[in-house]
Amino acid sequence: MSDFANALQTGHPNARHGWTLPMIGAVGLALLLGGCGKTASNSIEEDAAMAQRLQRVGTVELQVATAGGAPKTGEQAFQAQCAACHATGALGSPKFGDAAAWAPRIATGQAALTNSALKGKNAMPPQAGGALSDLEVSRAVAYMANAGGAKFAEPKGE
């Protein structure tokens, strides 16, 4: 029997490390509990990280669906693509809200004005040179003409 094992059994004061059986048991238990606790908290953190990743993917998909699925309103399309010229009357364009400038154009009718915006007219490029759909351009025409005194209905979705 080794000195150490002997000391464990007898609890002799001269035992080399001065360890007793209950002490070793306590240390073992502490290691065991510590180990368990660590494993448990790791997996909770991993679950949380996983949930966050899933949530992020879900959020992105939602935004893409909204951007692709809902056409802009007349006002949104105007702000995005038409205001660049029409807010100030740049390049000789009829200015937003200027009834005198819009009246003779409104008199030609909604279809003619929409056609001008879609195909372009003089200094105005087709589709205003942007990435709006035909529906969004035609809504912007109605929005802008109405601000100039027209009573056009904003075209609904296809």
Taking CB under 6 A as the criterion, the residue among 86, 96, 148, 150 binding ligand HEC is 86
Amino acid occupying residue 42: N
Under rule CB under 6 A, residue 110 binds ligand HEC: no
Under rule CB under 6 A, residue 113 binds ligand HEC: yes
The region of 10-18, 40-48, 57-65, 79-87 touching ligand HEC under the rule CB under 6 A is: 79-87
Under rule CB under 6 A, residue 137 binds ligand HEC: yes
Taking CB under 6 A as the criterion, the residue among 25, 35, 37, 92 binding ligand HEC is 92
Contact predicate 21/8, CB 8 Å: yes
Helices (H), 11-20: none
For ligand HEC, what does the binding mask look like between residues 6 and 45, x meaning CB under 6 A?
A: ----------------------------------------
Contact predicate 143/74, CB 8 Å: yes
Residue with the two structure tokens 């966050």: 52
Size of site (CB under 6 A) for ligand HEC: 26
Query: How far is Cα of residue 121 from the mean position of the Cα atoms in its chain?
Result: 36
State which H helix or E strand residue 59 sits in: helix 21-69
Torsional class of 97: left (φ above 0), alpha (ψ -120 to 50), beta (otherwise): left
Under rule CB under 6 A, residue 106 binds ligand HEC: no
**Closest separation in Å from C-beta 93 to ligand HEC:** 3
Site for ligand HEC in 114-133 (CB under 6 A): 116-117, 121-124, 128, 132
Contact predicate 158/135, CB 8 Å: yes
Contact predicate 144/80, CB 8 Å: no
User: By the criterion CB under 6 A, which residues form the site for ligand HEC?
Assistant: 77, 81-82, 84-86, 90-94, 105, 112-113, 116-117, 121-124, 128, 132, 137, 140-141, 144
